A and B are shown apart, each in its own frame.
Chain A
């Protein structure tokens, strides 16, 4: 299966390598570098690259390429999914997954990789088992280790590997027993210039932070489970129970984990919480263009729009802009032609707008008038789909836990794009 792993940074240096079978020379990465050069953007490097003797499967996360070397047939998703799991584990251990963090914790990184794969086949990928084997470094622990000489390697044996519930450590103890659930929804939408929705869908996740003593057995029920069109679960969730009763029943892992991700399809009508009106005009022959953009809330269920950020790729002909925001700050990068406007909070009484003129390259032909506008925003304390948690019950333990639930909506890939009505093809026949 997975032969070797190379970590390549954005400048094209291999800064870590690990082999699970015999050693593969790092020259194999030359094929990867070739592909990297050919790609215009970092994310355009093909995830699977065949070379004469090996196959390179890579993922790009946090501007680091994780390149796995494969020698024979293996499902590509198997490798990709595993690499992402590696990154998630690093992030879990070091807080961030950057080149510096990996280099600082090189020992832990090697130890982790050693435990995660055996002969190229995944062995222990549950973060809870790994944490039992190798303790995550903290500042305190590093200091203590330096002074006392203890190590990061757990002294006890990884009994979690033998457990029925491999995702949960045994003997967990907390003085404050808490369970927090965050329902986070992202709305992806494509809106055309007239404001009608081309496609909209809501992707949600329930992230949990559970710090409960012992072996609690939780059930979480929804007021309106029918909303959920498609779900995927953490392995701890009992599938049959969900099928039969639409109740999430599970023994939770300890700490942070993603309980559920779900999808509310575009078939259900999705309320779009924000609208954008923009009017960008260029006159033929003139070196000036007009720019007007207004946005406002729409169907937000009384909650305010926060952290609104507008960004747009202006046409190449635009040299510079002279715009006037009614609130927030805007920024135009003349090199990349990227306009971004940090609006902040939207006050429904006074709608924010951005108006002004653009200077164009002299003599250039009239640029396209309909750049795509990307919008980011947040709505606190509201899940756009209307999903509501009904109750959370705990069985199996005697104490009373503190329960908390938080809702949030974010814009995912939310864009408004123009369609040139005048030039639309005649599609009547």
Chain B
């Protein structure tokens, strides 16, 4: 605590704290201080590492402390937990005393208390309680509350590390939790999966799509774990998207042009695409670990053409803390070897600042070197020159080496670099000179003939330069190329012989080498010198040198004993040596998963899961198919993602289940409702396939609807408030989860008030009315309220296709009231519009009187949020007797867009960009002309025609009203009378529905 007085007091107490803690006084006051606070401080004091370091083991106090576990003060309780977890291992028997408290906590009605009890219980490392923990985890895994389930997922690795025998049981729990649909659980359970059974990749199949879709809503730490796991998964399940290119490269290398079985063209698995698409927005995360995880996923999984997107995000991370930079640069270094083009535009971001720490500088140099090519080498070299003047010597040395690498890699600048490096030989700083010598040595090895003057220059340096490595390099160079400098070489040896005894070991070895080589080429001049050097070496302190001297003497000086080898001495010493290859230390590091610890260390860390190679043939993709019920779940979650980071759906689930838990009527109520949702949705998808079944479906839906009413009766109030709240949030939802209904027209419904409430919750079930197209004036009119149900008042509506002036994001709906009753209708207005989340409505002004027999039209604006959700409202209040009619408006998908003008070229360009999104091919009957197509398409959807030259092709463009995403439609008529319809739209749902609608319009 911050008060020193208090601290002092507490320390005094603490020495007798054993009695203090056992004293029930902890609830009362003592010496004017509150004892709970003191108790807290004492607890910390006993947990304090400093005390433990001083040898005061606080575990003596264990019984005294643990007694407080039942204390009511939350802070004391928490600290007791901390203490307990810390010392339980040492005091196993006593720790058991506290278990019953936690067991009670596990049954608490409050989810947070259940969770925290499980959290502490599972943290106590006492083997005896393993069965209790196992039981608790199993129970918590099927808890109502996702938070408790999350805690259960956290507990799994704890139990596993305590007792690995439990693995099989734990895998069962993991399997169960993996099927969980909430974002809260996803990250934690994948973490548990990675720790307990990372090899059980089969558990992921069924959950793969769900995980992909949930990803954006999972908390950031969970995202990292999930993305890393999915990378591994994808490597086992999908084909290499770069397969053909990689193969070509290989073929070029091997030049085995013959007998290659042509592979069929690569088609990306849609699940593979799903993963890439859903991870991409996370590149914008503020969390560097998430960005890195996505980057490595793209690097390992994406087609070559798409990997580029990660470069920008990675470059952004370089602005972060230096530790982050360090890790990111390591990974960029590896990536830049394989995919150089990706980072080339960001070359300048890797320029070094004098304020960077050395390790960052060196890594940046590495990246710059990797990025160097013929076009940018001159700027890079100019930059390098400024680095050479840095005060940081390690960095200067690294720069010189980098120049050397550039020179070896890029032939054109080799001479420039060499000259530059030779200039550096006259640098004042010896380290610079030494490093240059070493690099020049490597460069000269590539083409020694042309550079005897450089060798001569370097020979002169032996007088001044003291750095052993540099001296050794020069000597080696002279020895190796002594034929190029026949006059200087013996002289150098003479000087060296003089200073031999004072040289470092590596220099001595090179002197011996030089002597030997000279003896072989120019024995006349150097015979004595060599003898002298070898004699000196014979009595050297270092055994390596003595050894080498003995060996060389035997080899080069012919004696009777020397065997056959001496004949080959010249070949042995003066063999042509291959030039060294200056390679990046980051080469081939990408066999480690990028972003991993193992990659960073370039060594396998414990627990590292090898990133598998792509399979030759893709395993069966159907394993990821889930039963219909589950796939609907996936649809729902897709929409949750579309909402952006603030996906209410995940939260709704939470709230829903929370609210459900209060009434607790059926044991699995939430389950049953989900089933309903899914069934009704699944039926739509089936509808697409087989329309004969539609009647059956409708029946089914009715049935489902009834069930629904039953279910929701109990919860109506909650959800009502809930939906209101949603409205106030004004969440911008692009589409609604459970109303992607293919319903065309709604019947009007007039029900008593209590039913009305229920309808707010559940979409009224559609009764399909056979549709008739009214060709007149291109506008289709829909019935909103029939004359009979409306007691004389009939209401029709149509989509006027005029821009709705007060708000451009709204669709204008023209509503026509006809009063065919005998009395006049009064005060017609919209009341209580029940909007799906995100929808907005601009009501028409109240119509005060509508005399009998009259007709009146009004226009209202509705923002459907680009989804064909219906809008319900309680429509007119009817004159004398107050009547409310409950009606709803469901827009055909074609009305959710507005035409935009586009040229043919623009159209083609846009179409290219949205290529992958939605494309369907359908066959049409014969007798077709361009005009008919245009008419039918524009009737079905509010699009404008794109002018085009060809008669065979009709193009249409528009954009959705709310979000303004492009909708492109093209109909290409073919020779045989068939036609191909293509719809490109960012919004999958809209695209699919539009294809259906237009198809229908065209085939009618």
A residues in contact (CB < 8 Å) with B? 1, 14-17, 19, 21-23, 26, 40-41, 43-44, 46-48, 50, 55, 58-61, 70-78, 80-82, 84, 104-107, 110-111, 114, 118-119, 121-123, 125, 137, 142, 145-155, 157-159, 161-166, 188, 190, 198-199, 201, 203, 215, 217, 229-245, 249-251, 258, 261, 263, 266-267, 313, 316, 365, 368, 370, 372, 374, 395-396, 413, 415, 417, 419-420, 423-427, 429
In the complex with contacts A81-B288, A84-B321, A236-B646, A110-B354 CB distance below 8 A: no
Complex-state Cα separation, A266 to B596, whole angstroms: 31
Q: Are A240 and B643 in contact (CB under 8 A)?
A: yes
Contact digits for B315-347, partner A, Cβ 8 Å, 1 yes 0 no: 110010111101110000000000000000100
Complex-state Cα separation, A137 to B729, whole angstroms: 33
Q: Which residues of A sit under 8 angstroms from B292, Cβ to Cβ?
A: 75, 77
Number of A-B contacts (CB under 8 A): 313
Complex-state Cα separation, A261 to B288, whole angstroms: 13
Is B453 interfacial (CB-CB < 8 Å)?
Answer: no
Q: Are A239 and B645 in contact (CB under 8 A)?
A: yes
In the complex with contacts A142-B2, A238-B646, A151-B597 CB distance below 8 A: no
Is B284 interfacial (CB-CB < 8 Å)?
Answer: yes
Q: Are B963 and A425 in contact (CB under 8 A)?
A: no
In the complex with contacts A80-B288, A142-B3, A313-B391, A75-B44 CB distance below 8 A: no
Interface SS, A side: mixed
Q: Which residues of B sit under 8 angstroms from A46, Cβ to Cβ?
A: 326, 359
Task: List 9 A–B pairs whose Cβ atoms lie within 8 Å, in order of A's numbering.
Answer: A75-B289, A81-B289, A158-B112, A164-B646, A198-B348, A232-B286, A239-B284, A263-B316, A427-B378
Say how far B443's CB is from chain A's closest CB, in angstroms: 15
Q: Are B606 and A73 in contact (CB under 8 A)?
A: yes
Q: Are B357 and A427 in contact (CB under 8 A)?
A: no
Question: Which B residue's beta carbon lies closest to that of A72?
Answer: B607
B-side interface residues, number (CB < 8 Å): 133
Say how far A21's CB is from chain B's closest CB, in angstroms: 7
Partner of A110, one of B82, B349, B389: B82
Say how far B645's CB is from chain A's closest CB, in angstroms: 5
Q: In the A-B complex, list the 9 residue pairs whose CB atoms are closest, starting with the nearest.
A: A164-B651, A149-B34, A238-B644, A72-B607, A153-B75, A199-B348, A151-B75, A73-B608, A47-B323
Complex-state Cα separation, A236 to B729, whole angstroms: 14
Q: Which residues of B sit under 8 angstroms from A60, Cβ to Cβ?
A: 322-323
Partner of A426, one of B41, B125, B151, B416: B416
In the complex with contacts A19-B86, A413-B353, A266-B348 CB distance below 8 A: yes
Q: Are A234 and B188 in contact (CB under 8 A)?
A: no
Q: Which residues of B sit under 8 angstroms from A198, Cβ to Cβ?
A: 348, 351, 383
Q: Are A423 and B354 in contact (CB under 8 A)?
A: no
Is B23 interfacial (CB-CB < 8 Å)?
Answer: no
Q: Which residues of A sit under 8 angstroms from B389, Cβ to Cβ?
A: 368, 370, 420
Q: Are A237 and B645 in contact (CB under 8 A)?
A: yes
Contact digits for B194-228, partner A, Cβ 8 Å, 1 yes 0 no: 00000000000000000000001001110010001
Complex-state Cα separation, A415 to B356, whole angstroms: 12
Q: Are B382 and A424 in contact (CB under 8 A)?
A: yes
Complex-state Cα separation, A26 to B391, whole angstroms: 36
Q: Are B351 and A72 in contact (CB under 8 A)?
A: no
Q: Are A73 and B596 in contact (CB under 8 A)?
A: yes
Q: Which residues of B sit under 8 angstroms from A234, Cβ to Cβ?
A: 286
Q: Are B321 and A78 in contact (CB under 8 A)?
A: no
Complex-state Cα separation, A312 to B15, whole angstroms: 55
Is B595 interfacial (CB-CB < 8 Å)?
Answer: yes
Q: Which residues of B sit under 8 angstroms from A43, Cβ to Cβ?
A: 322, 357
Q: Which residues of A sit under 8 angstroms from B643, Cβ to Cβ?
A: 238, 240
Partner of B354, one of A81, A161, A231, A415: A415
Q: Are A233 and B423 in contact (CB under 8 A)?
A: no
Q: Which residues of A sit under 8 angstroms from B312, Cβ to Cβ?
A: 229-230
Q: Are A419 and B289 in contact (CB under 8 A)?
A: no
Say how far A162's CB is from chain B's closest CB, in angstroms: 6
Which candidate, B46-54, B129-137, B988-996, is the interface stretch facing chain A?
Answer: B46-54
Is B1002 interfacial (CB-CB < 8 Å)?
Answer: no
Is B285 interfacial (CB-CB < 8 Å)?
Answer: yes
Which residues in chain B, 842-879, are within 8 Å of chain A measured between CB atoms?
none
Which candidate, B154-162, B469-477, B777-785, is the interface stretch facing chain A?
Answer: B154-162
Question: Which A residue's beta carbon lies closest to that of B383?
Answer: A198
Q: Are B597 and A75 in contact (CB under 8 A)?
A: yes
Q: Which residues of B sit under 8 angstroms from A263, Cβ to Cβ?
A: 316, 319
Say how far B476's CB is from chain A's closest CB, in angstroms: 26
Say how far A155's CB is from chain B's closest CB, in angstroms: 6
Q: Are B220 and A235 in contact (CB under 8 A)?
A: yes
Question: Which A residue's beta carbon lies closest to that of B228?
Answer: A75
Q: Are B41 and A48 in contact (CB under 8 A)?
A: no
Say how far B448's CB is from chain A's closest CB, in angstroms: 20
Q: Which residues of B sit under 8 angstroms from A111, Cβ to Cβ?
A: 75, 78
Q: Which residues of B sit under 8 angstroms from A71, Cβ to Cβ?
A: 606-607
Is B441 interfacial (CB-CB < 8 Å)?
Answer: no
Complex-state Cα separation, A147 to B319, whole angstroms: 47
Complex-state Cα separation, A249 to B646, whole angstroms: 10
Complex-state Cα separation, A50 to B603, whole angstroms: 10
Partner of A232, one of B219, B284, B606: B284
Say how far B45's CB is from chain A's closest CB, in angstroms: 9
Partner of A114, one of B29, B78, B605: B78
Q: Are A44 and B284 in contact (CB under 8 A)?
A: no
Q: Which residues of A sit under 8 angstroms from B154, Cβ to Cβ?
A: 118-119, 121, 123
Is B74 interfacial (CB-CB < 8 Å)?
Answer: yes
Partner of A48, one of B322, B597, B642: B597
Complex-state Cα separation, A1 to B779, whole angstroms: 63
Q: Are B188 and A121 in contact (CB under 8 A)?
A: yes
Q: Are B316 and A110 in contact (CB under 8 A)?
A: no
Q: Which residues of A sit under 8 angstroms from B41, Cβ to Cβ?
A: 107
Partner of A239, one of B78, B385, B644: B644
Complex-state Cα separation, A157 to B145, whole angstroms: 15
Say how far B41's CB is from chain A's closest CB, in angstroms: 7
Which residues in chain B, 464-483, are within 8 Å of chain A measured between CB atoms?
none
Q: Are B385 and A148 in contact (CB under 8 A)?
A: no
Q: Which residues of B sit under 8 angstroms from A155, Cβ to Cβ?
A: 74
Given contacts A110-B82, A151-B75, 18 further A-B contacts (CB under 8 A): A21-B161, A41-B358, A48-B601, A55-B597, A72-B606, A75-B289, A121-B188, A122-B219, A201-B348, A230-B315, A232-B291, A239-B281, A239-B284, A243-B281, A266-B349, A395-B730, A415-B355, A429-B413
Q: Which residues of A sit under 8 angstroms from B603, Cβ to Cβ?
A: 50
Is B712 interfacial (CB-CB < 8 Å)?
Answer: no
Complex-state Cα separation, A142 to B1, whole angstroms: 8
Q: Are B89 and A22 in contact (CB under 8 A)?
A: yes
Q: Are A427 and B86 in contact (CB under 8 A)?
A: no
Complex-state Cα separation, A239 to B605, whole angstroms: 36
In the complex with contacts A22-B89, A233-B286, A164-B327 CB distance below 8 A: no
Q: Are A107 and B44 in contact (CB under 8 A)?
A: yes
Q: Are B82 and A44 in contact (CB under 8 A)?
A: no
Partner of B386, one of A23, A73, A118, A419: A419
Partner of B74, one of A1, A153, A235: A153
Say how far A120's CB is from chain B's closest CB, in angstroms: 9
Interface centre among B47, B82, B161, B321 (most CB of A within 10 A): B321
Say how far B599's CB is from chain A's closest CB, in angstroms: 9
Partner of A241, one of B286, B359, B606, B644: B644
Is B415 interfacial (CB-CB < 8 Å)?
Answer: yes
Is B805 interfacial (CB-CB < 8 Å)?
Answer: no
Partner of A240, one of B382, B428, B642: B642
Q: Which residues of A sit under 8 angstroms from B964, Cβ to Cβ?
A: 244-245
Q: Are B44 and A106 in contact (CB under 8 A)?
A: yes
Complex-state Cα separation, A59 to B381, whole angstroms: 33
Q: Which residues of A sit under 8 angstroms from B596, Cβ to Cβ?
A: 73, 75-76
Say how far A102's CB is from chain B's closest CB, in angstroms: 11
Question: Which A residue's beta carbon lies closest to that of B29?
Answer: A149
Partner of A14, one of B49, B82, B184, B605: B49
Q: Which residues of A sit under 8 angstroms from B125, Cβ to Cβ?
A: 22
Q: Are B358 and A165 in contact (CB under 8 A)?
A: no
Is B293 interfacial (CB-CB < 8 Å)?
Answer: yes
